[in-house]
């Protein structure tokens, strides 16, 4: 079974631009969660999508948004980029059952200049 | 909301020694506590998890203990090997983690010296 994939793997943007990241979950997994990883703050939960609906949301500004498609693939969008948005963005997929493992993708490294 | 604190932030041990990483959580409703290992440049991978109705769980050289009353849980690695060197993250979640919103500690960088 193929693992979680994310594209692109690396991205360089400038302040004020917007960016869209993509995540393809493991086949059969309908839940996709997004996390931001930085050296200072560690891994922080952004939001979770299940059945094309956002089910949970972390404490991030409205510039961070996402969506999920009928095939469970998910995209995350960040508008009006700030220097502080530079981070590794990880998505994780799961079956959304209790005590079920979340499988992480390799991440997208976003650098904002 | 839930807050998870993790200590120490760095840990250096000699090969063959044991390593212990401790986490505390704030929300008594949390009932699922996974541990992830992240090697340099790689994705986090689950190494062990524990449910709130269990006090201890072992998997070969790795064990996790949970004290619900004190709201803390710990990862124990015995007979450490150089390949155990990585960053370890603890996490907590409600509803068995089924809602995808793991709240992570800030990580412990473990270095195992040969």
Cβ-nearest to A45 among B36, B51, B103: B103
For the stretch B21-49, pLDDT in tens is: 999 999 999 999 999 999 999 999 999 99
Could you identify the residue written with the tokens 């992830």? Answer: B36
Element of type H or E holding A7:
strand A5-7
Cα–Cα distance measured from residue A92 to residue B38, given in angstroms and rounded to the nearest whole number: 14
**Mean pLDDT in residue range A2-11:** 96
Residues from chain B contacting residue A96 (CB–CB below 8 Å): 98-100
Cα four-point dihedral sign A89, A95, A99, A101: negative
Cβ-nearest to B106 among A33, A42, A45: A42
Task: Return the pLDDT at B94.
Answer: 86
CA-nearest residue to B87 within chain A is: A42
For the stretch A12-68, pLDDT in tens is: 999 999 999 999 999 999 999 999 999 988 999 999 999 999 999 999 999 999 999
Do B98 and A97 make contact, defined as CB atoms within 8 angstroms? yes
Cα–Cα distance measured from residue A22 to residue A55, given in angstroms and rounded to the nearest whole number: 18
For the stretch B49-63, pLDDT in tens is: 999 888 999 999 999
Is it the case that residue A2 has pLDDT exceeding 90? no
Q: How many beta-carbon pairs below 8 A join chains A and B? A: 78
Do B89 and A43 make contact, defined as CB atoms within 8 angstroms? yes
Q: How near does any CA of chain A get to the CA of B38, in Å?
A: 11
Lowest-pLDDT range of A1-10, A92-101, B9-18 = A92-101
Task: Return the pLDDT at B96.
Answer: 79
**Mean pLDDT in residue range A1-16:** 95
Task: Return the pLDDT at B87.
Answer: 97
Is it the case that residue A1 has pLDDT exceeding 80? no
Do B98 and A43 make contact, defined as CB atoms within 8 angstroms? no
- Reported as a pLDDT band with limits 50, 70 and 90, residue A80 is very high
Annotate B68-81 with b (16+ C-beta within 10 A) or e (fewer): eeebbbbbbbeebe
């Amino acid at each position: 079974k193929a693992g979680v994939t994310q594209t692109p793997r690396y991205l360089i943007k400038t302040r004020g631009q917007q960016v869209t990241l993509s995540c393809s979950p493991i086949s059969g997994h309908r839940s996709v969660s997004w996390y931001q990883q930085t050296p200072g703050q560690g891994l922080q939960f952004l939001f979770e999508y299940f059945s094309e609906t956002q089910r949970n949301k972390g404490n991030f500004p409205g510039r961070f948004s996402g969506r999920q498609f009928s095939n469970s693939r998910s995209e995350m969008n960040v508008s009006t980029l700030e220097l502080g948005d530079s981070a590794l963005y990880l998505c994780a997929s799961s079956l959304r059952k209790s005590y079920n493992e979340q499988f992480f993708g390799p991440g997208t490294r976003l650098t904002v200049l | 909301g839930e807050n998870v604190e993790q200590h120490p932030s760095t840990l250096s041990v000699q090969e063959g020694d044991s390593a212990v990483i401790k986490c505390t959580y704030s929300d008594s409703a949390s009932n699922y506590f996974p541990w992830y290992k992240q090697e340099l440049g790689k994705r986090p991978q689950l190494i062990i998890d524990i449910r709130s109705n269990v006090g201890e769980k072992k998997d070969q050289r790795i064990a996790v203990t949970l004290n619900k009353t004190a709201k803390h849980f710990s990862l124990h690695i015995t007979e450490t090997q150089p390949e155990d060197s990585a960053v370890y993250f603890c996490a907590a979640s409600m509803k068995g983690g089924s809602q995808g919103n793991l709240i992570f500690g800030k990580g412990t960088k473990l270095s195992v010296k040969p």
